[in-house]
Chains A and B, each alone.
Chain A
Amino acid sequence: MTRILVPSGALGLGYDQDALDKGVAMQPDLIAIDGGSTDSGPSYLGRGVSKYTRASTKAEWAGLIRARATAGCPLVIGTAGTCGTDSTVDWLVDITREILAEEGLTATIATLKSEQDSVTDLRALPGAPHVTDEILQSCTHIVALAGAEQINAALQTGADIIIAGRTTDTAIIAALPLHNGDHAGAAWHGAKVGECGALCATNPQSGVILVDFDDSGFTITPLAEGAHATPHTVSAHMLYENSDPFILHEPGGHLDVTQARYRALDQTRVRVEGAKWVPADSYTVKLEGARVVGYQTIIMATIRDAHYVANIQDWCDDIAARHAAKVRDRLGDIAHTTELRIIGQNATLGALERTPVTPKEVGVLGIVTAADQDSARAIAMLLNPYLLHHPLTKGEEQPTFSFPFSPAETDRGPAYGFALHHVMELADPMDAFRLEVLA
């Protein structure tokens, strides 16, 4: 039997304090929370930083450190600081020490680091990009996703607070029930349902849920006032951010929920049994990597003139051709991509958009990507006169369009790209990870 309290889907999203207090009073064996995701794009991994402010992270983490002290159980976070690099683990360790000092609390801290200096024998997953040694070497950060084995090793140190680098969302929850000998399929299935907090319940914003694991299944209990889990909300959660709603790959095997049965215990709680854990022949961990793909400068104009709005694509096409020629003339043969996205027409979907409309106004967003920031800015500056004054037809009086900013150009700094969708085989699960109990 294992009882795990999940405060929310991610540190930084907030949680319901009353519900958390209720969970603490129910004597959990572990408080587990996820700290990250690739969902906000490659820049966070590329830079090794968190997407949430230090202030928000500190406020929410302090609440969990207090909850841990009251509950007398360990607290674990996976993928600390959005991307789970060594730098974001260290960042959260620093915040943790600051909180402990300010609150007059003591706790032992263990870190599990997931960052990789070099990776070999990669196996591509479906949809993976082509990788070369050059691409691998150009990655600013590569992380491996830890599974239940590495999280368990961290739990077995007896540390009070475990700050893990990149980890699968589920492993922080599945590790302890697996160690305790609860049903393996249920451990992973309950972890998958629980990893987004109360997203599996009727009041998704409330955050806090409790997952009870045993030798035949698991029970989900949302703790916020008015939040209910139903067989529908719980089973539907397997769809979320999952390309296959029945199969979930994890280090060392996969979860199969095809035969899972969901039963309402009462108005609030749902009991689930029947998931299967299928061990793999080899132990593999997934890798993520990001690298700089260029430097960007953006510029935006808004167009309110009806005649120009009606002919906006022609206007942009004409500007693109003239600008390309101007770049060659003024800057020579310089590698770059320049794109004009028409906001109000097809900026979200591009060529997939099939219902063109003529709005009152459109925005034209110029995005320049080049090998360095100075080049990107220079190329964007050559767009500026066109976006401000370019006429649709020869001979018409010079028009002027609206710019929201001065300067019109904004440097975006380095643009990062995801470089890996691969797995790496390990002889021992700890081979790619470093566990340390801090003094």
Chain B
Amino acid sequence: MSTVGQVAQKVRSKNAGPFWLTIDIFCGSDSAFRQIGNAVSTARVADLFQVAPDTVKRFDIADLHVIKFSMPRPVVQGDIRDRDMHGAGWAPLLSELAVN
């Protein structure tokens, strides 16, 4: 069994302003782009981060072999319940998702 992190070149997550988070999967090749794109559905990502699926924006950018997910932060940046000021910790969580 492989994970997103093993198949992709790089996965990063970051705030897109205080109210949104964005995660970029740099797949690195056409085959990795297809493999990850097929395995990682928007519904799986929504479940992983416990957000409503219809709030998740997905971009499959074939030219760059990039799959991008953006969603409203479940907890606003800097809220007293926020654990991750820059949204760095979401990338490793997505990296550990199985792709086959």
Instruction: Report if A and B associate in a common complex.
Output: yes
Mark A residues whose CB is within 8 Å of B: 38-43, 125-129, 232, 235-236, 239-246, 293-294, 296, 337, 339, 341, 347-355, 367, 369, 415-418, 421
Mark B residues whose CB is within 8 Å of A: 14-20, 22, 24, 26, 48-50, 57, 59, 61, 63-64, 66, 68, 70, 72-73, 76-81, 83-86, 89-90, 93, 96
For B77, the chain A residues whose CB sits under 8 A away are: 38, 41-42, 418
20 cross-chain CB contacts under 8 A:
A39-B15, A125-B19, A127-B19, A127-B72, A129-B76, A232-B64, A236-B26, A236-B64, A240-B24, A241-B22, A242-B22, A243-B16, A243-B70, A293-B79, A347-B83, A352-B50, A352-B93, A416-B78, A417-B76, A418-B78
Contact B22 A243 (CB under 8 A): yes
Contact A418 B76 (CB under 8 A): yes
Instruction: Rank and list the top 6 A-B pairs by shortest CB-CB distance, nearest first.
Output: A127-B72, A243-B70, A348-B89, A41-B78, A127-B19, A42-B78
Closest-CB distance, A250 to chain B (whole angstroms): 14
For A240, the chain B residues whose CB sits under 8 A away are: 14, 24
Report the Cα distance A418→B77, complex, angstroms.
8
Contact A348 B59 (CB under 8 A): no
Report the Cα distance A19→B41, complex, angstroms.
44
Determine which residue in B68, B72, B80 has the highest number of CB atoms from chain A within 10 A of its CB, and name it.
B80
A367's partner among B63, B76, B80 (CB-CB below 8 A) is B80
A348-B70 contact in complex given A39-B15, A244-B59, A418-B78, C-beta closer than 8 Å: no
Contact A415 B76 (CB under 8 A): no
Contact B14 A417 (CB under 8 A): no
Contact A417 B78 (CB under 8 A): yes
For B89, the chain A residues whose CB sits under 8 A away are: 348-349
Contact A239 B50 (CB under 8 A): no
Closest-CB distance, A363 to chain B (whole angstroms): 13
For A38, the chain B residues whose CB sits under 8 A away are: 15, 17-18, 77
For A369, the chain B residues whose CB sits under 8 A away are: 80
For B61, the chain A residues whose CB sits under 8 A away are: 239, 245
For A235, the chain B residues whose CB sits under 8 A away are: 63-64
Report the Cα distance A339→B83, complex, angstroms.
11
For A415, the chain B residues whose CB sits under 8 A away are: 80
Closest-CB distance, A377 to chain B (whole angstroms): 16
Report the Cα distance A124→B53, complex, angstroms.
21
Besides A43-B78, A239-B61, A339-B81, 9 more A-B contacts (Cβ < 8 Å) are A38-B15, A38-B17, A125-B19, A243-B17, A243-B57, A347-B83, A349-B93, A355-B96, A417-B76
Contact A421 B19 (CB under 8 A): yes
Contact A421 B16 (CB under 8 A): no
Contact A239 B78 (CB under 8 A): no
A42-B18 contact in complex given A243-B57, A243-B70, C-beta closer than 8 Å: yes
B83's partner among A39, A40, A294, A350 (CB-CB below 8 A) is A350
Closest-CB distance, B53 to chain A (whole angstroms): 15
Contact B19 A128 (CB under 8 A): yes
Report the Cα distance A145→B26, complex, angstroms.
31
Contact A241 B16 (CB under 8 A): yes
Report the Cα distance A42→B80, complex, angstroms.
11
Report the Cα distance A235→B24, complex, angstroms.
13
Closest-CB distance, A62 to chain B (whole angstroms): 29
Contact A341 B83 (CB under 8 A): yes
Closest-CB distance, A53 to chain B (whole angstroms): 19
A39-B22 contact in complex given A351-B50, A352-B93, C-beta closer than 8 Å: no
Report the Cα distance A339→B84, complex, angstroms.
15
A242-B19 contact in complex given A38-B77, A236-B66, A293-B80, C-beta closer than 8 Å: no
Determine which residue in A39, A243, A416, A418 has the highest number of CB atoms from chain B within 10 A of its CB, and name it.
A243
For B15, the chain A residues whose CB sits under 8 A away are: 38-39, 241
For B17, the chain A residues whose CB sits under 8 A away are: 38, 241, 243, 421
For A129, the chain B residues whose CB sits under 8 A away are: 19, 76
Contact A239 B66 (CB under 8 A): yes
Report the Cα distance A245→B48, complex, angstroms.
22
A417-B79 contact in complex given A239-B66, A241-B15, C-beta closer than 8 Å: yes
List the B residue with the shortest CB-CB distance to A418: B18
Report the Cα distance A405→B77, complex, angstroms.
28
Determine which residue in A40, A126, A232, A242 has the highest number of CB atoms from chain B within 10 A of its CB, and name it.
A242
